[in-house]
Structure formats: C-alpha cells, structure tokens
Amino acid sequence: MATGDTGNFGERETYLNKEYGIKSWLLSVDHKRIALLYLVGITFFFFIGGFFALLIRLELLTPAGDLVQADTYNKLFTMHGQVMVFFFLIPAVPAVLGNFLIPIMIGAKDLAFPRINLLSWYLYIMGGILMLYTILAGGVDTGWTFYVPLSTEFLKTNVVTAALAVFVSGFSSIFTGLNFIVTIHRMRAPGMTWNRLPLFVWAHYATSIIQVLGTPVVAIAIVLVALERLFHLGIFNAALGGDPLLFQHLFWFYSHPAVYIMILPGMGIVSEVVCCFSRKRIFGYQAMAMALLGIAVVGFLVWAHHMFVAGISVYAALIFSLLSYFVAVPSAIKVFNWTSTMYKGSITYQTPMLYAFGFVGLFTIGGLTGLFLACLGVDIHVTDTYFVVAHFHYIMVGGMVMAYMAGMHFWWPKISGRMYPEGWGRLAALIVFIGFNLTFFPQFVLGYMGMPRRYWDYSRAPEYQILNVLSTAGATILAVGYLLPMVYFLWSMRYGKPAPDNPWNAAGLEWTIPSPPSTFNFDEQPVVTWEAYNYDEIKQEVPVAH
Amino acid sequence: MHISPVATANHEAHENPALLHHFATVEQQKDAASFGMWLFLVTEVMFFGGMFCAYLVYRYWYFGDFGAASQSLDIKWGAINTAVLICSSLTVALAVRCGQVGKQKAMVVNLVLTIVLGLVFLGIKAIEYKAKFDEHHIPGQASFHLEKSIPGHPDTPVNQPHAQVYFSLYFAMTGMHALHMIIGVGLFAFLTYKAWKGAYSPGYYTPVENAGLYWHFVDIVWIYLFPLLYLIDRHP
C-alpha cells in the first residue's frame, strides 16, 4: 500500500476494495464506508420526498382539485416535508460528506466512536423504515410540524409511527453530532490547531452543537404527542388546561435551529469550493469561523418567530423579531467574505464552483426574504402563504441542496476514485439553477398575492394559475437536473477517468492522500505546519476540465 | 505537496489490548470516551429539560391545584426511593473506585448491589403507580377523580382538569425517569458480566466509569423530581 500512487485504481488496496460482500459494508465501522451507506439511504429518501413534491406540483397545475382530493393532498405535503426534512436535509451533508471528510481533514484515522457511527446509521435506517411504513400504511397528514391539537385529538392517521420515525432518526442525528464534537476536540493531528481547521470542519462543529442541544427537545415534544395520543395525557390538551402553544415552543426550539443544521454544513462546503476555484485564501478566516458559531448560538434564540400569529404576547413577538434580525449579521459576514474571497481571484468555472455561485446568490435571496418574515407587520400579511414556502425553499433547496451538490462533485473524485464527466456536470448545474428559480420564484409572487400554502384547490382564485403553471414547469426541469447527476455519478463509478490524488490542486489534508483513500486514511501520522487555504503557496492552477 | 509526513505515531511502550486502532494513546481514548459521555448527558439534560419547562409553566399557572394533587402522592415511598437511589450512587462510585485500584471481586459486588437498589426503586415505583390506578388518578380517563382541596383553602375543591395536567406531568416525568433506570439496570447487568469475566483493570475501566456517570445523572434527575412532585405545599 503506497501513498502517492495515482491513477492505478484497482491495484492499490483502498477502503473500497479492501473487503467485498454485503456483510463487509453493513458491519463496517470505517467512517468512509458508513458515509456511503448513508449516501444510499439519503439518495433514496431524496427521491421519495421529491416524488411527493412532484405530485403536489401536478395537483396545483390546475385550479380545481382534480388529481387528488384534500385528504390525499394533506398527506402529500406532510410526507414531503417529513421525508425531506428528517431523512434528507438534516442528515445529508453531515452524515455523508462530514462523515467521510472530517476525520481526513483533521488528520485522524476515524471518528472517535466508529461503532456509534455505525449505530447512528442503523437508527437512521430504522427511522426510515418506520417512515416508509407510515407512508405505505396510508400516510400521515399532520403537516411536518405535528401541531397539536390536530395531531393529538383529531387525526385518525398514522401519527404515532411517524412520530416514532422522527424520534428514532433524531437519535441518529444526536449521535452523529456527538461523534463529530468529540472527534474535532480530541482527534486532531499534531499541528492541526483550531485556527488551522478547514471551515468545513468549523461548520460541522457548529452544526453538531445544534444537533446535540436541540434534537433532544424535539424528541421529548414528539414523545409527549405520542403519549397524548396513546394514553391521553393532558400536557398539551387545552380541554384540561394544557397549552397547545407550549408544543409549538418546544417544537420550534429545535426546528428553527434545525434550519441551521441544514445550512451550516453547506456553508462549510462553499467555503472550501470558493477558495479552491478562486485560488485564494478565504477572506477573514476567523470571522468566518465565528460567524458559523454565531449563527448556531443566535439561531437558538429566535424560534418564536414561527409563532407570531399563534397568539404569543406582543412583547415576546417584538423581542423575537429583533433577535431574528440579528441572525442576518453573521449570515451577511459569510456572504461578504465569500464575495471578497472571489474578488481578484483566478476563478474557474468547474461544476462545484457553479453550484457554489448558485448557493451564494440563492442563499442571499432566501436570507433577505427571511428578514421580511422577521418583520412583524410583513409576517402577519404573508404568514402561511407561498411567500413562506418560497423563502424556506430558497434556503433549503437553493442553499442546502446546491451546496450538497457542490460538495458531492468536489469530493466525488476522492470518494469514488473516479472523475465525473465535467461537461454533463456543468449542464446539470445550469438545469438545476434554472429549474429551481422557475419553481420557487413564482411562489414569492403567489404568496404576496395571497395564495395560502397547503391548499389543494384554488378554483376561487384562478388568477393564480399562470404562476402555478410556471412553478410546476420549473419543478419538472429541476427533477431532470437532479436525475442527471444521479445517472452520471453511477456511470462514472465504472467508466469515469481514474482520479488523481488532487484533481483540483486544492489545499487540505484530504487531497494529500490517494483517491480513494486506504482504510486508515493515513499511512503515517500527518503533521500540519500550514494554515488552511494556503493557496498563495500552491502555485498550480486548477487543471483544465476534460 | 507540502506534506512530508513525519513518523510520530506515538506507539505505547506497552501496547494496551484495549487501545483501539484509531487512537494514538490510551489517554486520548479515555479522554474521548468520557467527553462523549458528558456530551450525551448534556443531551439528556435537554431531553428532561423539555418536561421541566412544561412543569414550570403549569406549576405557575395552576399553583394551588398542583399543590393539592401533589398531596395525593405517598411521601413515605418517595422518601424511601430517594434514599435507595442515593445509596445506589454510592455503590456505583465504589464500583468505579474498585476499577481504578483493580479490585475485581469488590467491583462485581458493588455492581450487583447497584442493580438490586435499582430494582428496589423500580419495584416501589410500581407500587406507587398501582395506587394511582386504584385511586383513579389516571389523567385523561373518564373515571379520573381527585378528592382534595386547595392547600390553605379547605373550601375550594381542586380543579379536576388541572389536576390531570399535574398527573400527566407526574407520569411523563417519572415514567421517563423509570425508563432510564431500566436501561441503566440493563447496562449494569452487562457490565457485571464483563467485570466478572475480568474485562476491566486499572488500565481500562472506562465503560464502568461512563455507566457510573449515566447512573449519577439519572439519580440527579430524581433529586429534582422528588421535591417538585412530592414536596410542594407540604407545610402543616
């Protein structure tokens, strides 16, 4: 096993060819193999959730409720939300890319707790099976938020299994976060100081803090909902004097920071990609790292902005509105610093960079419209309209999924040992960008015009149709944009050009080891003597794409 | 590129068989394990925190009703259980100490004692739960009835729905706590077996120490539950 050999994929022993057979995967404690196990599960649920989204968009093509009726429609958007949030968005970047890269980036052989890492995958799959059971057994229609008293008193659908699915997958998330925090604290290579950590690692550190502190709270909230359904406890039951608002507080205490679980790892990816393809150091490294932590901390103090019209006191609303504005400060620091990093950089336009451009622009739109919603007056006008739907899809799909795609393309050569086809990659990035904006920009307008979310039938307001048609058209384009990478990634695993150790001439420990890495990542303990993103010391350009 | 990997792999002079491949030293491994356990306890604090938050709100809203409902609990059993748990904290601490100094037999004894005390606690909890069922103090049931008056106001009967909120919290909080006790007892059964087989030594007793941390945490939860559920409005 020789470090530094390039291109002789298949002869050298790697984590991929070390052992064969289903058992060597399902019982593997190698963080890289577990990352790929997650990739399979996450991709599966992404397409399940996407399928529900397409049905929703098809129904809204015409004003009348013709494809599905109200009950089915309620289930569609509920299951779209639950599958996408809990089984794709939250685990996607940490569990796949974070799992694969964090130990390598800090110069470790594995995460601190490899067996807990495998356990967290099994918990994810158990949660996933419960979710699939919920879907196949007739679905659930609480909305992804499980609001009481709807979920506890009124619905006859599979609320308890859906709640259990979220609960179990939540433990998977907790264990991943816990593993990352301990790994980043205790497993760094000699010389890998906190100020030399790649921002990808900082981003996951901030994410993990939210996972560890927030997830248990939604877990107990959901357990209490299940207990109310099963045993008629009265903690949220207004008939006994319980408070349904308390559920919303507990739910959003996690579920607002959960938005940052989704976006922070994406910010980490974009920092890596922007530096590499601008051939420059990150602008303001420490500000970037502190902004990540700042978002994580302030993100815990804004949850009640989801409840401005739910009957909270006006003083509480004022304070939460103000605190919500504060999140914009670290977020803006990040956008400014990415832009400053690109300024006077030698920019090249490889696929990961295209996605990173998309991320910065769309995240900015999503973030700015978030400020509209933090403003009490505007929020009351657009609450529960498509404006809100468009806003959070700009963050989650325009932000997080774009970043995820950027990361998948950037590190695919390292993960698979193969290059993806660059031309197809750029085309797919363009299709995703166009499809995304066509899908969700009209929804801003629809929402401002007053179209409420979660309606299957708008036949009393047929003037909404043209924008809905545009949105549905965009969704089909977006679907093509997501299917393409799926196809060419699979294709490249067999037919792609073997990847060199460092196809982008990028900085970072992960590019100093062979592609794909060997099981223990490093043959010898690396010692770090340089800052992150030392592109001024790396003279080479990014190799020209083929 | 810039890396000239230096061979600094810090191989221990005496390879400890418990040292996993991805750690450089036993200290690093032990550090990581106890840090991980403390973090897990943080998640547990947040988990129980949700219910304590609910308790805080409703205790403030339904002050007198909570006091009245609390009086229906048997303070004798609660006090005995508190003592039982404090004793079990001692036996767990002794078991960890036995690990440090390598007294295998004493460790097994202390672990078994911990399990016994845990089971005593759960048994008493079962007696208490049964009493609640017999007295129709089960929230959400049509038969729910609590014959108490607000403490200090003998003519004001307790509000029946609000008393049910109290009992909802009582069952949710003590139930979650009991679940953690059951998991702990299972954990200690496993550790007893391992200790009996001689798996732990002064060089490696991290699992015992971590399980001990968990057990102390579960005890501390009870130290809060006991006054909040049993001891409010007990002044004569």
- Is A522 near chain B, with CB under 8 Å? yes
Q: Name the residue of chain B whose CA is nearest to A511's CA.
A: B1
Distance between alpha carbon A347 and the CA centroid of its chain, in Å?
26
**Nearest Cα residue to B112 out of B187, B188, B218:** B188
* Chain-chain contact of A241 with B22 (C-beta, under 8 angstroms): no
Q: What pLDDT, on a 0 to 100 scale, did the predictor assign at position B4?
A: 35
Angle among Cα A506, A507, A511 to the nearest 5 degrees reads 70
**Nearest Cα residue to B41 out of B193, B184, B229:** B184
| Closest partner CB to B165 (pick from A108, A234, A250) | A234
* Chain-chain contact of A216 with B46 (C-beta, under 8 angstroms): yes
Residues of B in contact with A109 (CB under 8 A): 21-22
Q: What pLDDT, on a 0 to 100 scale, did the predictor assign at position B227?
A: 96
pLDDT string in tens for chain A (546-residue length): 334 444 445 578 999 998 899 999 999 999 999 999 999 999 999 999 999 999 999 999 999 989 999 999 999 999 999 999 999 999 999 999 999 999 999 999 999 999 999 999 999 999 999 999 999 999 999 999 999 999 998 888 899 999 999 999 999 999 999 999 999 999 999 999 999 999 999 999 999 999 999 999 999 999 999 999 999 998 999 999 999 999 999 999 999 999 999 999 999 999 999 999 999 999 999 999 999 999 999 999 999 999 999 999 999 999 999 999 999 999 999 999 999 999 999 999 999 999 999 999 999 999 999 999 999 999 999 999 999 999 999 999 999 999 999 999 999 999 999 999 999 999 999 999 999 999 999 999 999 999 999 999 999 999 999 999 999 999 999 999 999 999 999 999 999 999 999 999 999 999 999 999 999 999 999 999 999 999 988 877 787 655
Taking CA atoms, A464 is separated from A28, A222, A262, A459, B138, in Å, by 52, 36, 31, 9, 51
Contacts of A520 (CB under 8 A, 6+ apart): A109, A110, B21, B22
Residues A470, A476: Cα–Cα separation, whole Å? 10
Residues of B in contact with A526 (CB under 8 A): 3, 5
Can you give the pTM of this predicted structure? 0.94
Domains by residue range for chain A, with CATH: 29-512 (1.20.210.10)
DSSP state of A496: S
| Closest partner CB to A181 (pick from B39, B51, B159) | B39
Angle among Cα A105, A108, A109 to the nearest 5 degrees reads 120
| Closest partner CB to B62 (pick from A187, A213, A241) | A241
Q: Name the residue of chain A whose CA is nearest to B44's CA.
A: A216
Residues of B in contact with A227 (CB under 8 A): 172
Q: What is the mean pLDDT of residues B111-120?
A: 98
Q: Name the residue of chain B whose CA is nearest to A534's CA.
A: B2
Residues A150, A148: Cα–Cα separation, whole Å? 5
* Chain-chain contact of B50 with A241 (C-beta, under 8 angstroms): no
Place of tokens 């997830």: A215
- Is A472 near chain B, with CB under 8 Å? no
* Chain-chain contact of B24 with A525 (C-beta, under 8 angstroms): yes
- Is A186 near chain B, with CB under 8 Å? yes
- Is A190 near chain B, with CB under 8 Å? yes
Distance between alpha carbon A288 and the CA centroid of its chain, in Å?
19
Q: Which of A182, A276, A513 to mutate to test the interface with B (most CBs of B within 10 A)?
A: A182
| Closest partner CB to A185 (pick from B35, B62, B172) | B35
| Closest partner CB to B5 (pick from A242, A243, A525) | A525
B:145-174 residues touching chain A, CB 8 A cutoff: 159, 161-162, 164-165, 168-169, 171-172
Residues A471, A443: Cα–Cα separation, whole Å? 7
Residues of B in contact with A3 (CB under 8 A): 5
Q: Evaluate if residue B226 carries a pLDDT over 50.
A: yes
Say if CB B108 and CB B196 are below 8 A apart.
yes
* Chain-chain contact of B8 with A190 (C-beta, under 8 angstroms): yes
The SS3 call for residue A418 is: strand
Q: What is the tens place of the pLDDT at every residue in B167-185?
A: 999 999 999 999 999 999 9
Burial environment of residue A172 by CB neighbours within 10 A (0 to 12, 13 to 18, 19 or more): buried
Residues of B in contact with A523 (CB under 8 A): 5
**Nearest Cα residue to A431 out of A351, A361, A490, A349:** A351
Q: Name the residue of chain B whose CA is nearest to A3's CA.
A: B5
**Where along chain B do its domains lie?**
44-230
Q: What pLDDT, on a 0 to 100 scale, did the predictor assign at position B19?
A: 85
CA distance, residue B84 to nearest chain A CA (Å)? 27
Q: Alpha helices, DSSP H only, in B102-159?
A: 104-134
Residues A264, A298: Cα–Cα separation, whole Å? 13
Q: Name the residue of chain B whose CA is nearest to A510's CA.
A: B3
* Distance in Å from the first CA to the final CA of chain A: 29
B:182-201 residues touching chain A, CB 8 A cutoff: none
Contacts of A300 (CB under 8 A, 6+ apart): A210, A213, A214, A253, A257
Nearest 5°: phi and psi at A282?
-65, 140
Residues of A in contact with B69 (CB under 8 A): none
Taking CA atoms, B55 is separated from A5, A6, A489, B61, B62, in Å, by 62, 62, 52, 10, 10
- Is B35 near chain A, with CB under 8 Å? yes
Beta bridge partners, B204, equal B201
Q: What pLDDT, on a 0 to 100 scale, did the predictor assign at position B210?
A: 96
Report the 10 Å Cβ neighbour count for B152.
Answer: 11
Report the 10 Å Cβ neighbour count for A57.
Answer: 20
CATH architecture of the domain B44-230 equals: Up-down Bundle (1.20)
